[in-house]
Amino acid sequence: MPEKITPDKIEQDRIDPDQATPCIIKTGNTKIVRVETSNRVPRLSHPDHFHIIEAGKIIRNQGVVIFPAQCLYGMAVNAMDPKAIQKIFDLKQRPLSNPILVLIQAPEDLKPLVKTIPDSARILMERFWPGNLTLVFEAADHVPPQLTAHTKKIGIRIPAHPVALALTKQAGPITGTSANLSGQPGCSLVTQLSPALVQGADLILDAGHLKGGTGSTIVDVTCDSVRILRQGLVSAIKISQALSPLAET
């Protein structure tokens, strides 16, 4: 059986916990490293930066990294690699009919992934990115179909968490699905992760306790009128207020 991560195990396996270097834990073949952030950006002079680089290399080589997002831990693979994407579906036991959202570094990274960027999307991007708003676009033809669950639509956002954003800078577009088995609650602590996911990951970036709660609001911008597919941290009222200039034209 896969080994479950417990708080006691984390304490027992820490290497030099009082030193400036991040804690490093090994469980099976998976490495877990503590990552710290300061002023909402990873400290590039801190050894954590090298773990971000390591994570980027793993992702670019079809590996799986569990990372902290704004509310919950997520699972990152190369969003343009069909084999890597399939790993996510297999590990999460996720139905192939459920699409997987993508995280990018900057608005200009949208162009290779989508067919068009509507005016409504540009307004919402400027108002809420980086942040907890996922926008659904018409996917470009070369986007892997399992990423979109064959809907030809792709959900994208720029993450607000500094570690997640740093990963997109190192690895390009990455998956942003939550690190939980399909149908199970998301995890705000590494110790809550399913043992099967821990065993299947190549690296876990542990940022401690995340705030939890609801995830990103998902908005479809492919329609004439934007449509909220899932209510999350960005309220419908805020979205409506942001788009009010369009209604006046």
Whether residue 22 is predicted with pLDDT greater than 60 in this model: the reply is no
pLDDT value for 19 = 36
Give the pLDDT of residue 2.
Answer: 47
User: d(Cα 61, Cα 244) in Å, to the nearest integer?
Assistant: 44
pLDDT value at 89 more than 50: yes
| For range 102-110, the mean pLDDT | 97
CA 194/CA 2 separation, integer angstroms: 9
What pLDDT score does 44 carry? Answer: 44
Q: What pLDDT shows up at residue 174?
A: 98
| pLDDT of res. 116 | 97
Q: Cα(37)–Cα(70) distance, rounded to whole angstroms?
A: 13
| pLDDT greater than 90 at residue 169 | yes
pLDDT-derived band of residue 37, with 50, 70 and 90 as boundaries? low
Nearest-angstrom CA–CA distance, 211 and 199: 24
pLDDT value, residue 4: 53
Domain ranges of the chain: 7-247
pLDDT of residue 48: 59
How confident is the model at residue 61, as a pLDDT?
97
Which homologous superfamily is 7-247 in? DHBP synthase (3.90.870.10)
pLDDT of residue 25: 74
Query: Residue 236 and residue 248: Cα distance in Å, rounded?
Result: 18
Q: What is the pLDDT of residues 119-139, one digit of tens each?
A: 999 999 999 999 999 999 999
**pTM given for the model:** 0.87
For the stretch 206-241, pLDDT in tens is: 999 998 888 899 999 999 899 999 999 999 999 999
